[in-house]
A and B are shown apart, each in its own frame.
Chain A
């Protein structure tokens, strides 16, 4: 279990407590309001059968800007899992810029992200899911994102069931890359040139289907949403 816990401290930079696991969090910068952390993999992963647990807790009115240092490749083998629990207290923000998650041919992965948002909190997830390494069609992934307010009201629930060997019209079609920016807890401004999914609860999703990573053009939009969350007065890192 890898853990990250951010809490406000009086007249001092935020307190960052980390529990090292297969992933390790390194602090890059800290201010009174928030911290910028990098998430570093401690070894090769995901090897078939691996279970990766990550718990992120952002205390009231703290901002965590979290950045992956390397991408993850799920290698062929027995099923592996990635379990992420995110808890955002009142007024907390989490911005998580992940690197591409690659599901190699022959890999079977369950990737489960559950988020609980207290009033006034917000979550921005920047994710790129890639089916297959170069020349591969990709393995199987069941990717769940379940987000609820702390009173249980659902914000966004989605289970994606993908199999590179069985592309489905209407899911990813013929594409191998699903690039997304998911903002929960805030209504973002409209961005010309992007078709957004505006959720019923405050939140929006920008998505792009592509044939290779880094080709979708979502980065400027995600950067803008991140800037809206971080605010002009709190530049982190």
Chain B
């Protein structure tokens, strides 16, 4: 639960998961539920699968580097990769104090889903719970940003998160069983990838990503 808390001092509050750029483009606030559903179907399986694999391969540095390459090849937006690495670094710094040795040193910062997986390995969080954590985190990031960008009823935002997380439940077991990085899902969402890049270039913005 701690890992999914946005008050954790790891910098996750800087991300809206591209919602800010999406709302400035053609997404209406009424479509945010649909936006979350698309993320659950397309992006979250990549992130959650990466976390599961990092947990599984935590003791094998070479395999972790291959996993990083598989994740990066499924993340075509440089802005998305950079924010994932920045947030991963924040989380790794926390882990260094809280769970020393959980996150092995690397030349480049590990992306956030890999750091989550490595912490899960060190703390005994099981793979299915890890999938749900990543899903919750993704939806909560969008919902929290929505309240800042388009202030509305916080209870509606909670309902959006619960609905989105329910969409992930049927796939959680399959993702949790992943063992080979080559089998990581690789669905793409052209509009979201475009928004992620656009977000990084917005001149007046609330969120970095």
Give A contacts to B, CB under 8 Å. Answer: 146, 153-161, 168-174, 178, 180, 195-201, 205, 207, 209
Contact = CB atoms under 8 A, between A and B. Distances in A.
Given A170-B195, A197-B193, 17 more contacts: A146-B186, A154-B70, A154-B72, A158-B186, A158-B187, A159-B186, A169-B31, A171-B38, A171-B189, A171-B192, A173-B191, A197-B76, A197-B77, A197-B78, A207-B190, A209-B191, A209-B194
Interface in B181-199: 185-195, 197-198
B81 interface: yes
23 contacts: A156-B76, A159-B185, A159-B186, A160-B187, A160-B188, A168-B34, A168-B37, A169-B38, A170-B27, A170-B35, A170-B39, A195-B194, A195-B197, A198-B78, A199-B76, A199-B78, A200-B69, A200-B78, A201-B72, A201-B73, A207-B190, A207-B193, A207-B194
Given A155-B73, A170-B42, A171-B38, A160 B198 contact: no
Contacts, number: 94
Nearest to A129: B190
Contacts of B198: 195
B22 interface: yes
Nearest to A147: B73
Interface majority SS on A: helix, strand, loop or mixed? Answer: strand
Contacts of A173: 26-27, 191
B27 A169 contact: yes
Contacts of A155: 73
A156 B190 contact: no
Contacts of B42: 170-171
Contacts of A197: 76-78, 193-194, 197
A197 B81 CA distance: 11
B191 A172 contact: yes
Contact of B187 (A161, A172, A200): A161
A7 B42 CA distance: 40
B63 to A, nearest CB: 13
Given A161-B187, A195-B197, A209-B194, A170 B78 contact: no
